[in-house]
Amino acid sequence: MIQINILQEAGSGFGVARSESHGHAKPHKSAIAALLGIILVICLGYAYMMFAGVPAAVAPYLPETVIASLGLVPETASIPENSAPGVAQAPAATAVAQPVNSSENAVEEVVKTVRPDMFYNKERKEYRQLLPAEKILHQKMVMAAAFATFRAITPVAFGFTDLSFKIPDYFYCRGLSSDNKNLRSFLDSLRRHSIEFTEGPPPEGTKTLEFAAYGRLNIPEKVVGERLALLTPAQVVQEMQTLDQLAQNNGIRFSGLENPHVTDHGLYRRVLYRAQTKADFPSMQQFADALRASPLRVGVLQVSMRPSADEGSVTVFDFVVYTSPK
């Protein structure tokens, strides 16, 4: 309207110009309107893509340099709510890390104590991997084998000042031989029955026939097939009374079975009895064989023979039972 008023006020001198201008006014206005419309569409499209991202249908037609220079991002593909299970969907823009497999050791230690039957068929090669009930079976087997081995290889004219067996398979011996031939025969036999063997030097100032050796016995037998449940605390007294009767039947009298030491391990308890006897070696071997063959749930952690004050010897047994917490 301002332009029209100015042209009207200019007078008749501009009659021809006014006439020509009216001839081109409509095309000129249409071009301006079209240009303004295009600019408006571009602005609206840019604003939409700034907030919602570049539509998937449009993205292939825009160069990556244009998208990057304008600061636009592709629109993330959405998963239809009614998509059928098992149908592959478009991958998300960001990969999700897979969960790391957690260690089973801690959980397994708990479960195998609560439900040991779940693990009976699992191979366990090391003593520390055995269930409490399996440890009892292993202890009984090892002690019987240790007594049998030493009795079989020890010459008649031979004396021990110290002899110890300790779970899982350790031994220590010290003594005096009547002659060098018997000494070498004993040590060679003991070496053949060992998976680890060390011969210690005799103490200074002693006869050369005195010896000391230690190592690990070779016991090829393994615990297989047998299943034992933990004792309840109420069953322990009866079990130890049966053990004492078994010892007496084999010529052994124990002292100290009335003084247990209890250790709480949370899911089970360990009850230790340190008992003594002055029985001879053949009687103790016979008792060890009988204990192994019996259904008693009593194991032996250690046996130690040492000289006593009355020039004899005393043997200490560390018996153990495993019970439920209550």
Is pLDDT above 50 for 233?
Answer: yes
Give residue for tokens 């001198």: 13
Residues 160 and 300 in one domain: yes
Q: Which amino acid is at 126?
A: E
Which of these three, 31, 51, 69, is where a domain ends? 69
Q: Tens digit of pLDDT for each residue in 158-174?
A: 888 899 999 999 999 99
Question: Do β-strands 194-200 and 170-177 pair in parallel, antiparallel, or remain unpaired?
Answer: unpaired
Is pLDDT above 80 for 45?
Answer: no
Q: Looking at the domain assignment, is residue 37 inside a domain? A: yes
- Cα–Cα distance between 288 and 243 in angstroms, integer? 11
Residues 41 and 124 in one domain: no
Please tell me whether the overall predicted TM-score, pTM, comes out greater than 0.75 for this model.
no
Is pLDDT above 70 for 78?
Answer: no
3-state secondary structure of 79: coil
Residues 274 and 145 in one domain: yes
Asked if 171 and 142 count as a contact pair (C-beta separation under 8 A), the reply is: no
Q: Taking Cα atoms as reference points, which of 240, 291, 259 lies closest to residue 303?
A: 291
Torsion, Cα of 283, 284, 287, 288 (10° steps): -150
Query: Looking at residue 226, what is its pLDDT?
Result: 62
Q: Looking at the domain assignment, is residue 90 inside a domain? A: no
> Lowest mean pLDDT: which of 86-90, 166-170, 313-317?
86-90
- Cα–Cα distance between 300 and 317 in angstroms, integer? 7
Token digits for 129? 């991997």
Burial of 191 (0-12, 13-18, 19+ CB in 10 A): middle
Domain count, the chain: 2
Residues 148 and 289 in one domain: yes
Residues 23 and 167 in one domain: no
Q: Which residues fall within 8 angstroms of residue 14, CB to CB, at 6 or more apart?
A: 7
Asked if 13 and 7 count as a contact pair (C-beta separation under 8 A), the reply is: no
Q: Which residues fall within 8 angstroms of residue 127, CB to CB, at 6 or more apart?
A: 135, 138, 167, 168
Asked if 112 and 131 count as a contact pair (C-beta separation under 8 A), the reply is: yes
Residues 168 and 254 in one domain: yes
Residues 135 and 58 in one domain: no
Decide which of 230 and 84 is more confident: 230
Which of these three, 33, 50, 69, is where a domain ends? 69
Mean local confidence (pLDDT), 299-325:
91
Give residue for tokens 């779970």: 167
Q: Which amino acid is at 160?
A: F
> Lowest mean pLDDT: which of 45-59, 96-110, 199-213?
96-110
Which of these three, 69, 95, 126, is where a domain ends? 69
Strand partners, 173: 163, 213
Own/partner long-range contacts of 5-13 (Cβ < 8 Å, ≥24 apart): none
> Lowest mean pLDDT: which of 47-51, 121-125, 134-138, 220-224?
121-125
Token digits for 76? 């993330």
Q: Looking at the domain assignment, is residue 189 inside a domain? A: no
As a whole number, the mean pLDDT across the chain is 75
- Cα–Cα distance between 45 and 70 in angstroms, integer? 12
Question: Domain holding 258: CATH number?
Answer: 3.30.70.60
Residues 65 and 126 in one domain: no
- Cα–Cα distance between 162 and 172 in angstroms, integer? 7
Q: Looking at the domain assignment, is residue 152 inside a domain? A: yes
Confidence of residue 200 (pLDDT cuts 50, 70, 90): confident
- Cα–Cα distance between 310 and 77 in angstroms, integer? 93
Q: Residue 316 belongs to what domain range?
A: 116-173+218-323
Residues 273 and 168 in one domain: yes
Helical pair 281-293 and 132-153, crossing angle rounded to 10 deg? 150
Q: How many CA atoms lie within 13 A of 17 on its CB side?
A: 8
Residues 165 and 19 in one domain: no
Confidence of residue 42 (pLDDT cuts 50, 70, 90): confident
Token digits for 7? 């042209």
Q: Looking at the domain assignment, is residue 74 inside a domain? A: no
Confidence of residue 108 (pLDDT cuts 50, 70, 90): low
Decide which of 310 and 13 is more confident: 310
Q: Looking at the domain assignment, is residue 101 inside a domain? A: no
Decide which of 63 and 255 is more confident: 255
Is pLDDT above 90 for 284?
Answer: yes
Percent residues over pLDDT 70 in the chain: 63
Q: Looking at the domain assignment, is residue 103 inside a domain? A: no
Residues 228 and 129 in one domain: yes
Query: Looking at residue 246, what is its pLDDT?
Result: 98
Strand partners, 217: 194
At residue 264's C-alpha, the angle toward residues 260 and 268, to 5°, is 100
Q: Alpha helix locations (H) across the chain?
A: 2-9, 15-52, 64-69, 105-114, 132-153, 180-192, 236-249, 281-293
Residues 57 and 154 in one domain: no
Q: Looking at the domain assignment, is residue 165 inside a domain? A: yes
